[in-house]
Amino acid sequence: MITLFPFQSQAAAEIASRYARFMADRPVVGTQKDPRPLPFYQALSSITASGKTAILAETIAQIEAGLPVKPVVMWLSRGKVVVEQTYKNLSPSGKYHHLIQDFDVRLLSQYKSSDVEAATRGLIYFATVGTFNQKDKEKGDRLIYRSDMDTAESSVWEALKQRLNSQQVRRPLIVVYDEGHNLSDQQMQLLLELEADAFIVASATLKKPPSGLNEILKSLDTAGWEGDQLIASIAASDVAASGLIKTDLVLGGYAAPMESAIDDLLQAFDAASVAGASAKPQIAPKAVYVSRTNVVEADHSRKDDPKRPFHQREAPPILIWRYLVEQKGITPDEIAVYANLKFDKLYPAPPEFVLYAGGDSDYEQFVKGGYRHVIFNQALQEGWDDPEVYFAYIDRSMGSPVKVEQVIGRLLRQPNAITQPNSRLNEARVFVRVDNEQVFKKVFEEVRGKLTKDAPSVQVSSYESRKARDRETVPPSRDMTIPQLFLDTSNVLELIQTAVDNFVDFRQDTVNTRADGSMVLVQQRVGGDAASTFEWVKRDSNSTVSARWLFQLRVMRQYPRVLEVTPSDDPKFDALVQLGSTAHKSVEALADACVRSYMDAVRLKVAKHNPFRVGEAVNIVDDKMPYPNSLHGGYSGLNSFERACAAELESAGVLWARNPSRTGYPIPLPSLGSSRNFYPDFLVWKNGDVFAIDTTGDHLMKEKSGRKLMSITSPPGVPSIHVCLISEGRWNPKVEKVGKEGYTVWGLQADGNIQAAHVDSMAVAVAQALTS
């Protein structure tokens, strides 16, 4: 069973909370005689590998828990592969099914009005947009539009419009659209016919919303729902901190023959394969080779002739395959070509040439093959996201920034969401063949700009020469360990238990649990024949939800880990309350108080067992600075401030090491909105203790969580951990910069207030830090 990361729970809670608030006071357009409630709209904005399926599933489950009528969910995607994967993952045997265990999961072709009427649970139906995206539905031959002649029911589409329960009340319809950026005008118009209650799209951006959606957004804006209220954004740093994406991306530019780039790829591939065999669990790195298909490699304006013997063909996929097999000794059963590569019946491919040319129909068989080298063009459908893909060769025919970005998206996922001790297994490498160096520079700058925005924690580097490409992996000169730190919540438990004990029991309260003047619009069927219509009827709100649902939703939006130490199974949380009532506000106040208590009382402590062991360092040889006293003999990639600090550590004669972000020694930090790790720049061993020094201390001191770094307690017999923060310039205790000269060493006074000690030189700053 997969456990959601805090940022995933928070995103789902944010959308569900907005949905509840929206429906409690749903904006209406039209006239008094013909009111037309607006649908709820949210765009989930997140980078690749953030786990959008899990977030959307959790969102639907949380929305369903607060609805008086069980909903129908139509889950759509453009690609058949994506729909099949999502359907499999959410089905009873799927890895995400526990997230939507109160739903029945089906394909839209299985839709029956009788099921919808009789169901006592929510229903999720999966489909591709191709299922319904055609203008002439009456003449359509797609399954969704076919009427069941044996039972004389209307088409699935017409049944979806009605979706009546046993009380003849229309079930809420929630449309989930994965890959929402592909939403077309035609698709949107068809979806609007269903009069959905909510649209939730997974999309980083809708640069040009479809016409129908654009009208809805304008109306929502007029009603006060605009901008950030319509987008649930996930910080790329939170995704990176979870270990879901790789830490480094290296792009190499080759204005050289194909063979040169592939040789370098295979050298890196072999080294990563050796490292992967020792990983736990084991990792088998894979490589992809991206090129155009039926063209001549030397001249892409010419078509490759399929009426030639295989060894005379000039199409890039064939040339790549032949080089891998004939020159590099890779067995053909490890290679798959997934492209619409043409062959003439008189000149077939050799039997050992594995070709998948059928697109979607071949996908399932392709995935089962477990190939480690995959040659493809754009025919490889969206949805193939194999975390073990570490390497990509991109042919010069495909070397535009957009194409490179698309391929990189396939490489960013990290296997098992575990950052590995061996840095080779945290790094994706792309080998781009270009016509000249200027083309590569353009590609690199645009890709780096895109990733800086979408995945800022991924370190992006490039090379255009063998000298610049050379990287070394250096093991530590001795075995050094550091005690791990953990968040101690022992002081939190009593505070939260007391808050819950003092909370009012609303279970028998019939006054404070009701919202004054609360009304809802319910669609009630009018008439009893096939021509019956629906009208919106105002009724007293019966949108009651449990206090537990409100409490957990409020906490998850702020800091989900608080729920781990909160007795939310207390019977008081069984109380049913209306949204906007006094009880609702009291529940949210309790949730806020519990979160504050957690943040105030949680402490950093040193663990007795399982210390962190310092691993290898990865350096770019040409950029490496020698540091003989360091654990690895030298480091590359230091900025000017870090180099100044490293020079003084070297002069101090102590044993020290650079601490890489995400793969180095982590210090957990509780912070509202996310749970993240802090990676100090340097680690120093002195007199049996460990000093963790960071050169950007001011950003931590601005947060309450940063001050906890200054008061870490260690059990007897375990080395003490001293966190030392240094900032450039002169700062005051209010964490305000008041001058550019010198440095500031941060600390805490006896009363717990911040101390900002200004010194003139880095030498004094380091000396003061090492005497903490």
CA proximity to 220, closest of 63, 29, 18, 15: 29
Q: What is the mean pLDDT of residues 627-655?
A: 94
Residues 658 and 715 in one domain: yes
372 found inside a domain: yes
Of 85 and 391, more confident? 391
Report the alpha-carbon distance of residue 253 to residue 465 in Å, rounded. Answer: 8
Q: Is 65 exposed, middle or buried (0-12, 13-18, 19+ CB in 10 A)?
A: middle
Residues 418 and 389 in one domain: yes
Of 401 and 558, more confident? 558
Residues 670 and 565 in one domain: no
Question: Cβ(77)–Cβ(129) under 8 Å?
Answer: yes
Separation in Å, CA 441 to CA 252, 432, 755: 10, 11, 46
Q: What is the mean pLDDT of residues 197-209?
A: 74
CA proximity to 686, closest of 659, 654, 649, 657: 654
Alpha-helix residue ranges (DSSP H) falling in 635-742? 640-652, 697-701, 704-707
List the single range of 44-48, 115-119, 672-676, 758-762 with lowest mean pLDDT.
672-676
Report the alpha-carbon distance of residue 26 to residue 38 in Å, rounded. Answer: 7
Of 750 and 284, more confident? 284
pLDDT at position 203, please?
67
91 found inside a domain: yes
pLDDT at position 78, please?
76
Separation in Å, CA 566 to CA 148, 285, 501: 52, 42, 11
pLDDT at position 466, please?
54
pLDDT(148) > 50: no
Question: For residue 659, what are its two tokens?
Answer: 């601490």
Task: Spell out the residues 6+ positions from residue 662 whose beta carbon is closer than 8 angstroms to its own.
Answer: 240, 241, 243, 247, 419, 426, 457, 677, 679
Domains in the chain: how many in total? Answer: 4
Q: What is the mean pLDDT of residues 107-126?
A: 89
Q: Provide the domain limits for residue 217.
A: 6-234
257 found inside a domain: yes
pLDDT(524) > 60: no
CATH of the domain at 387: 3.40.50.300
Highest mean pLDDT among 420-434, 640-654, 723-737: 640-654
Q: What is the mean pLDDT of residues 22-28?
A: 87
According to DSSP, the β-strands at 427-433 and 389-394 are parallel
Of 385 and 550, more confident? 550
How far from chain centre, in Å, is Cα 293? 32
pLDDT at position 532, please?
53
pLDDT(144) > 60: no
Residues 450 and 503 in one domain: no
Residues 630 and 542 in one domain: no
Residues 350 and 447 in one domain: yes
pLDDT at position 320, please?
95
pLDDT(107) > 60: yes
- Band (25; pLDDT cuts 50, 70, 90): confident
Of 418 and 380, more confident? 418
Q: Is 610 exposed, middle or buried (0-12, 13-18, 19+ CB in 10 A)?
A: exposed
474 found inside a domain: no
Q: What is the mean pLDDT of residues 528-542?
A: 53
DSSP-based three-state secondary structure for 493:
helix
Task: Spell out the residues 6+ positions from residue 364 whose beta carbon is closer than 8 angstroms to its own.
Answer: 84
Residues 53 and 189 in one domain: yes
Q: What is the mean pLDDT of residues 397-421?
A: 77
Highest mean pLDDT among 104-108, 351-355, 521-525: 351-355
- Which run of H or E residues covers position 269? helix 258-278
Q: What is the mean pLDDT of residues 316-341?
A: 95
Q: What is the mean pLDDT of residues 736-762?
A: 87
140 found inside a domain: yes
How far from chain centre, in Å, is Cα 84? 20
pLDDT(46) > 60: yes
Q: What is the mean pLDDT of residues 511-519?
A: 73
Cβ density class 538-565: b for 16+ within 10 Å, e for less: eeebebbbbbbbbbbbbbbbbbbbbbeb
What is the phi/psi pair of residue 617, to 5°? -110, 145
Domain termination site, one of 234, 264, 299: 234
Rg (CA), the chain: 30
Q: What is the mean pLDDT of residues 243-255?
A: 86
Of 466 and 98, more confident? 98
- Band (703; pLDDT cuts 50, 70, 90): confident
- Band (698; pLDDT cuts 50, 70, 90): confident
Report the alpha-carbon distance of residue 39 to residue 33 in Å, rounded. Answer: 19
759 found inside a domain: yes
- Band (673; pLDDT cuts 50, 70, 90): low
- Band (419; pLDDT cuts 50, 70, 90): confident
- Band (537; pLDDT cuts 50, 70, 90): low
pLDDT(207) > 90: no
Tell me if the bond preceding 281 is cis, omega within 30° of 0.
yes
Domain termination site, one of 204, 234, 264: 234
pLDDT at position 645, please?
95
Residues 64 and 205 in one domain: yes
Q: What is the mean pLDDT of residues 712-724?
A: 88
Report the alpha-carbon distance of residue 519 to residue 578 in Å, rounded. Answer: 11
> pLDDT for 344-370, tens place per residue?
999 999 999 999 986 666 777 888 899
653 found inside a domain: yes
- Band (418; pLDDT cuts 50, 70, 90): confident
Report the alpha-carbon distance of residue 279 to residue 613 in Å, rounded. Answer: 15
Residues 262 and 370 in one domain: yes
pLDDT at position 674, please?
60
List the single range of 255-269, 294-308, 402-416 with lowest mean pLDDT.
402-416
Task: Spell out the residues 6+ positions from residue 152 whose beta carbon is closer than 8 angstroms to its own.
Answer: none
pLDDT at position 243, please?
83
Domain termination site, one of 544, 579, 601: 601
pLDDT at position 457, please?
65
pLDDT(39) > 60: yes
Of 538 and 195, more confident? 195
Of 275 and 531, more confident? 275
pLDDT at position 708, please?
74
Mean pLDDT of the chain: 84
pLDDT(149) > 50: no
> pLDDT for 424-443, tens place per residue?
899 999 898 887 777 777 77
pLDDT at position 152, please?
31
Residues 414 and 543 in one domain: no
DSSP-based three-state secondary structure for 717:
coil
Report the alpha-carbon distance of residue 707 to residue 671 in Å, rounded. Answer: 12
pLDDT(128) > 90: no
Beta-carbon count within 10 A of 592 CB: 13
Q: What percent of the chain has pLDDT over 70?
A: 87
CA proximity to 480, closest of 658, 716, 619: 658
Residues 79 and 173 in one domain: yes
CA angle 352, 357, 362 (to 5 degrees): 95
1 found inside a domain: no
Strand partners, 103: 122
Residues 62 and 210 in one domain: yes
pLDDT(277) > 90: yes
